[in-house]
Structures are given as C-alpha cells and as structure tokens.
Structure 1
Amino acid sequence: MFFIRLLLASAVTFCFTSFVFGATVLVDDEIRALRDIAKTLGKYWNFDEDPCSAPSVWARDPKNDAVNCNCNIPNTTGCHVVSIYLKEQSLPGTLPPELVNLPYLEHIDLTRNYLNGTIPPKWGSFTRLVDVSLLGNRLTGTIPKELGNISTLKNLTLEFNMLSGSLPKELGNLMNIERLHFTSNYFTGEVPETFAGLTTMKDL
C-alpha cells in the first residue's frame, strides 16, 4: 500500500513539474526583440514576467497598453507576439526598426505619443502586418516606399504628424488595403495614379 501511494505521489509530482517547466512561453528571439523595442520607444516593460504568461503585467489595458501573444500558430513552437498597443503612453522615443524581429506581428498601435524621427524603411519586410496606427505623434520625413511591400496591410493611419514629401506610388501595391489616413501632414504633389488600382479601399 505504501509503495502504491509513493508511486502515485511521484506521478503527480512529475506531471506538475512537466506542466510548470513545459509551459508555453514567448520564444527567446522575440524577448530579445522586445528589449530592443522598449529601449527605442522609451517604454518600461517588466521582463521578470513572461509576456505571454502574465497578462496582468503585459496586457493591463487590452487596447491601450498591451502586448498580446498567440500560442497556437500552426507549424510553430512556443508563443509569439501578435499585437502591440501603446496608446497615449507619453512615449518619448523613436519608431523601432526592431519591430520586424517579431515575425508574427499583426497590429501596431502607437497613437498619441511623443514619438519623433522617421518611419523605418525596414518595416517593409513585415509579412503578416494588418494594422498600423501612428496617429498624433511628431514623425518627420517621408513615407518609405518599402511600406508598399506589406501585402497583408489593411490599415495605415499616419494622421497628425509632420510627415512631408510626396506619397510613394508603391503604396498602390497594397492589394488588401482598406484605409489610408494621411490628414494633417505636409505632403506635396499629386495622389499617385497607382492608387486607382486599390480595389479594396474603403476610406481615403
């Protein structure tokens, strides 16, 4: 009888240990990327807690101050960051090129901060990005033509910044775009003829 109890206790301990240490967490490469992103944005995140296992720390406000993960993406292991919402956080930094090191990122919302500098051309290498809002910051420079490479993009909101120059004709390659918001910047020139091919557009 004692042997049976000992065996049962050992089995329970093993299962508990396997659950704890086998818990699905954010992959190491994306943790490193978040550390770089935090420095560039001027954002404090508590890296003592796993971003995908501590929603009370990393997703305090689902649409305004949150890093959200998906742990069930087919043909992948571990968890991956799929959205970053940092609205009205008084962020003083610049836009991080390192965001492209989150390969499963779909949503970026940095609305109404104090971010300055330019939009990184490197963002054109996103392969799953659907939604970008940079409304109400202090961004300067031109819209990188490389953004036209993001075939998954549905929303690009750049209103109320200090962007300038002409609108790149390459944005006409955004085959899934539904919304382009560019109000209150310093753009010059004509709207590119390539925009006529944006058959999914609903709001310009």
Structure 2
Amino acid sequence: MDVKALREIGEQLKRNDWNFHVDPCENDPSWVTQQSDSRPLYNNYITCNCSYGVCHVVKFIFIRNYLSGNIPHEWASSTELEYLDIGVNNVSGPIPSFLGSMTKLTYLSLSCNMFSGIVPHELGNLINLETLNLSANYLTGELPVSLTNLTKL
C-alpha cells in the first residue's frame, strides 16, 4: 500500500488528519492517533515492513474511529497487508469480494460495523488467515463453504 492508495482510502473514509506529505513508513506521529481522556479507546496506526528494501504497510488498525462509507477498492492493492482491523466503526455496504485477494492477511476484523449481505466466498482465498472476526454486523445467509480452506483459522 502506498501513499496514493492511503490518500484514496482517507478520502473515502473521510479522514482529514493524516499527513500525506510524509511516508507512513517513516513512523511520523501524524499516522498514529494519540489516546486522550476524551477518546480513550480511539485507536489507529499503520505499521510498515522495510526489510527487503521496499517499504510496505503490513498492519492497518483503525478501531473506534467513527469511519463511515464503504471499504475503498484501493485496498485491493494492499497485497502485502498482514493485519487489518477496522472494528467498531460505521463502515457499511457488502463485505467486498476483493478482500479475498489480500492473501497475506493473518488477521481480519470487520466487527461492530454496518456491513450487510452475505460473506463473500472469496474470503476463502485468505489461506494465511489465523483470525477472522465478522461479528456484530448485519450479515445474512450461510457462511460460504470456501471458508473451510482457512486451515490456520
């Protein structure tokens, strides 16, 4: 995930406090929201891995951030992402099938949002997934058989 993709994500999720002039892999404090007494559970940060000379966002945590809207399609470019948590927000719409292309994910939490519809069978492609939390949404239907591919879950 690069800064361009993060900018698109920020715009679609109505984030106006990120500093897009600074690479998120530089560990700039603008990419981490400090906890405060007024928002003790508000949590967001990005973690990068630069071990192979090219930096990639590998951890994306935005818990209790009052995010709304749909998951942006730009997240499909996050092929190096290992950890994604957007729990306790107001993200809505169907769970996008393109999340199934993020095959390095080991942790995925979409809990406590407003997702609706079915769980897409493409999530069965997330063969490295160890944790999947879809609780407290408005999902319907049966879980797809493809989730049986998630042997590390």
Structure 2 length as normaliser, TM-score? 0.76
Q: Return the alpha-carbon distance in structure 1 between the equivalents of residues 78 and 145 of structure 2.
A: 25
Q: Which amino acid aligns with 2:131?
A: R
1:73 aligned to which of 26, 29, 51:
51
Residues 174, 61 of structure 1: CA spacing in aligned structure 2 closer, same or farther, 3 A cutoff?
A: same
1:176 aligned to which of 128, 132, 139:
128
1:188 aligned to which of 125, 140, 153:
140
Q: Return the alpha-carbon distance in structure 1 between the equivalents of residues 102 and 21 of structure 2.
A: 33
Residues 139, 64 of structure 1: CA spacing in aligned structure 2 closer, same or farther, 3 A cutoff?
A: closer
Q: Which amino acid aligns with 1:64?
A: N
The alpha carbon displacement at 1:129 in A equals 0.6
Q: Return the alpha-carbon distance in structure 2 between the equivalents of residues 67 and 59 of structure 1.
A: 7
DSSP-derived class of the 1:124 partner: helix
DSSP-derived class of the 1:109 partner: strand
Gap runs ≥5 in structure 2:
36-41
Residue 148 of structure 1 is matched in structure 2 by 100
Gap runs ≥5 in structure 1:
1-29, 81-103
Query: What is the aligned length?
Result: 145
Q: Return the alpha-carbon distance in structure 2 between the equivalents of residues 124 and 58 of structure 1.
A: 21
Residue 64 of structure 1 is matched in structure 2 by 43
The alpha carbon displacement at 1:75 in A equals 3.9
For the pair 1:108 / 2:60, whether they are aligned, the reply is yes
Residues 130, 52 of structure 1: CA spacing in aligned structure 2 closer, same or farther, 3 A cutoff?
A: closer
Residue 126 of structure 1 is matched in structure 2 by 78
Residues 122, 110 of structure 1: CA spacing in aligned structure 2 closer, same or farther, 3 A cutoff?
A: same
Identity percentage of aligned residues:
38
- Residue deviations 1:84-130 (CA, integer Å, cap 9, x gap): xxxxxxxxxxxxxxxxxxxx111111111221111123322321111
Higher strand share: 2
The alpha carbon displacement at 1:195 in A equals 1.1
Rg larger in structure = 1
Partners of 1:59 and 1:68 within 8 A in 2: no
Structure 1 length as normaliser, TM-score? 0.59
Residues 44, 151 of structure 1: CA spacing in aligned structure 2 closer, same or farther, 3 A cutoff?
A: same
Tell me which of the two structures has the higher relative contact order, counting C-alpha pairs closer than 8 angstroms and 6 or more residues apart: 2
- Residue deviations 1:57-89 (CA, integer Å, cap 9, x gap): 55564993545555x43244xxx4xxxxxxxxx
Partners of 2:47 and 2:58 within 8 A in 1: no
Partners of 1:124 and 1:150 within 8 A in 2: yes
RMSD after superposition: 3.0
1:42 aligned to which of 9, 12, 15:
15
DSSP-derived class of the 2:80 partner: coil
